[in-house]
Amino acid sequence: MMHSIKLSCVSLGALLLSSIPVLAASEPVKPPIVITGADMRPATSLNGEWATLVDPYFSGLFSFHHEEKKNGWFLNQKAKSGDTGPIEYDFSKSPTLKVPGDWNTQRESLFYYEGPIWYEHDFTYQPKTHTRIFLHIGAANYRSWFWVNGQKVCEHEGGYTSFNCDVTAVVRDGVNFVVAAVDNTRREDNVPTLETDWWNYGGLTRSVSLIEVPDTFIDQYDIHLSRGEGSIIEGWVHVEGGQSGDKVEVAIPELKSTASGVLSSDGRAIVHLAVSALERWSPETPKLYKVEIHAGDDSITDLIGFRTIETRGTQILLNGKPIFLRGICIHAEAPYRTGRANTDKDAETLLGWAKELGSNFVRLAHYPHDETMLRAADRMGVLVWSENPVYWALQFDNAKVLAKAEQQLDEEIETSRNHAAIIFWSMANETPNTPARTQFITTLAARARELDPSRLITAALLVRAEGYTKVIDDPLGKALDVIGFNEYIGWYEQRPETADQTQWRIDYQKPVIVSEFGGDAKAGLHGGDNDRWTEEYQANIYRHQLGMLNRIPQLRGMSPWILMDFRSPNRPLTGIQDEFNRKGLISDQGQKKAAFYILQKAYTEKTVGKPE
């Protein structure tokens, strides 16, 4: 192919390609894998400054005829005297970006950038025998390619899930280099698709590290309390490379409980631990136990809470008791500095505010949030709605898009399934009511149930109006355990007072959560109750909403939109929005608005919602 190009067109590009040494063809790259509890493994952090090259035409990877180059920028070459052709890049002379971090908020010229950026980082390493080494990526938005010492190690699609690339065969003793290309271009057939109401933060947005495991290792496990009277902890452990008949042991020393299981031919061992005097995890008592898992030479210790979650008629039962979910929505937007949230401190600030509001529940919109957030929720006792990025109008009739959504859902569940805090897997947000959509999301719901039968399935639906009656009859409701819906009475439609006259007809005898309502207010902007964009107007929406919500008999929770202002390019109103969605109860700089205190009062005095 290359040869014929050179013959048919003697261009600068062709000459260039022929003059640079090319590596021997490498093995086909293995797809990245999920490692449950990756953040609990001994790791070498690769966080810090990485050299970067902005590459809007992706010429570091693709030739002038759009073929993948064999001598792309992943070789990390440097020009030297005597080179037969030009080397037109040099990472060592290039500006750096901090990892983890989105590029948009780190360099002014990248604020609106959508396209590929290259990253390069050196590290020293001493490989050990009988050890496999994985490059662990917390998230890279949206598509990413990774090479170590010039060899491709993996490609990944999806901007909000973690993945692990096997680099065992390419890591060498001494100095190594890793190169990544990350492309945040929005595409119609991506998940999410072209339209979203949040900033398309690009880059290596979460931590990157090297994880060492033995040759045969525990890659996934699921340990949870069985529904029922609650004296059995059950689950399974999967051992990568394990042989049928190999033993696995799970111990919870504090409960003096140990159980063993035997791998079957699929590499998975089922375990059951009888426990007595278990202190159940709940928002009031977020008790976490050390759980030790052993398999051959591998062992991992995780911190896991035990609770049950189920529905009974229109109730939601946490540990067998009806609960009302006093919630709030949260984007992974960093408080104070803006940009992607990715530190323990970000998580503790956001969840700390949610608790101060009186919440026992958060909807982590609109994509899986990172491990720091989920660990903090486990620790701080906050129940979580975890969501995949099936947002608005995807190409629901495209099988490739379904495969992308399934892959992201698998990664979300396989990574996060041991967090007691997570009670719901949400399949979608505000999708159009079409047969293709219903089939697509019903398929996802079935998959989520198969992967994790211990949690509840939900989605945020749209609402239809018949005069002053709001109707929830979206056929997708059939596939859900808990019906979520979003409504914006007083903001996108009608007036705040219209809520007083609004009736609800909900065609499902299932628990209901109002998963969004609200309106924009600029912190510090004051006026009358009818002056849009003021704190008073937003507070007025909340007052009327709270009265209305109490008239929905099967209401079991709510998560107004949203805890903190967040960046969105759809919100350009100068002097008010300035490219922030201002529906936060708190500004991006931490100022609490009047509506915060209205909701806080309702939550702490429990004047909204009844579990039964």
Nearest approach, Cβ of residue 114 and ligand GCB (Å)? 19
Nearest approach, Cβ of residue 485 and ligand GCB (Å)? 10
- Looking at residue 391, the DSSP 8-state letter turns out to be B
- Look up tokens 């496999």; give the residue: 132
Burial of residue 90 (CB within 10 Å: 0-12, 13-18, 19+) is middle
| Sign of the dihedral through C-alpha 144, 205, 383, 584 | negative
- Cβ(170)–Cβ(127) below 8 Å: no
**Lookup: tokens for 497:** 């007072």
- Cβ(512)–Cβ(483) below 8 Å: yes
Residue 474 in the binding site for ligand GCB (CB under 6 A)? no
Nearer to ligand GCB, 152 or 544 (CB): 544
- Cβ(271)–Cβ(221) below 8 Å: no
84 CB-near residues (< 8 Å, 6+ apart): 19, 20
- Residue of 529, 532, 526, 523 lying closest to 596 (CA atoms): 523
Nearest approach, Cβ of residue 490 and ligand GCB (Å)? 13
Please tell me the count of residues contacting ligand GCB according to CB under 6 A: 9
Show the site string, 27-66: x = touches ligand GCB by CB under 6 A, - = not. Answer: ----------------------------------------
Angle at 252 between CA 247 and CA 255, to 5 degrees: 135
Cα separation, 156 vs 181, in Å, equals: 11
* Positions of E strands within 27-183: 43-45, 48-54, 96-99, 116-125, 131-137, 143-148, 151-157, 163-166, 174-183
Nearest approach, Cβ of residue 460 and ligand GCB (Å)? 6
Nearer to ligand GCB, 39 or 516 (CB): 516
Of all residues in the shown chain, the one whose CB is closest to ligand GCB is: 197
Nearer to ligand GCB, 57 or 492 (CB): 492
Nearest approach, Cβ of residue 581 and ligand GCB (Å)? 5
Nearer to ligand GCB, 454 or 538 (CB): 538
Nearest approach, Cβ of residue 527 and ligand GCB (Å)? 20
Out of 184, 209, 386, 486, the only residue in the binding site for ligand GCB (CB under 6 A) is 486
Out of 136, 581, 586, 603, the only residue in the binding site for ligand GCB (CB under 6 A) is 581
Nearer to ligand GCB, 418 or 515 (CB): 515
Query: φ and ψ at 67, to 5 degrees?
Result: -105, 150
Cα separation, 314 vs 425, in Å, equals: 18
Nearest approach, Cβ of residue 231 and ligand GCB (Å)? 41
Residue 416 in the binding site for ligand GCB (CB under 6 A)? no
Show the site string, 165-184: x = touches ligand GCB by CB under 6 A, - = not. Answer: --------------------
Nearest approach, Cβ of residue 392 and ligand GCB (Å)? 8
Out of 583, 594, 596, 598, the only residue in the binding site for ligand GCB (CB under 6 A) is 583
Out of 516, 536, 565, 588, the only residue in the binding site for ligand GCB (CB under 6 A) is 516
Cα separation, 53 vs 461, in Å, equals: 41
Nearest approach, Cβ of residue 314 and ligand GCB (Å)? 24
Show the site string, 359-378: x = touches ligand GCB by CB under 6 A, - = not. Answer: -------x------------
β-strand 580-581 against 131-137: which pairing, if any?
Answer: unpaired
Nearer to ligand GCB, 438 or 486 (CB): 486
Residue 197 in the binding site for ligand GCB (CB under 6 A)? yes
**Lookup: tokens for 348:** 């503790």
Q: What secondary structure does DSSP assign to 297-358, as a single string?
A: TEEEEEEE----EEEETTEEEETTEE--EEEEEE-SB-TTT-SB--SHHHHHHHHHHHHHTT
Out of 221, 561, 580, 596, the only residue in the binding site for ligand GCB (CB under 6 A) is 561
Residue 429 in the binding site for ligand GCB (CB under 6 A)? yes
Residue 458 in the binding site for ligand GCB (CB under 6 A)? no
- Looking at residue 360, the DSSP 8-state letter turns out to be S
Nearer to ligand GCB, 493 or 500 (CB): 493
The site for ligand GCB (CB under 6 A) is made up of 197, 366, 429-430, 486, 516, 561, 581, 583
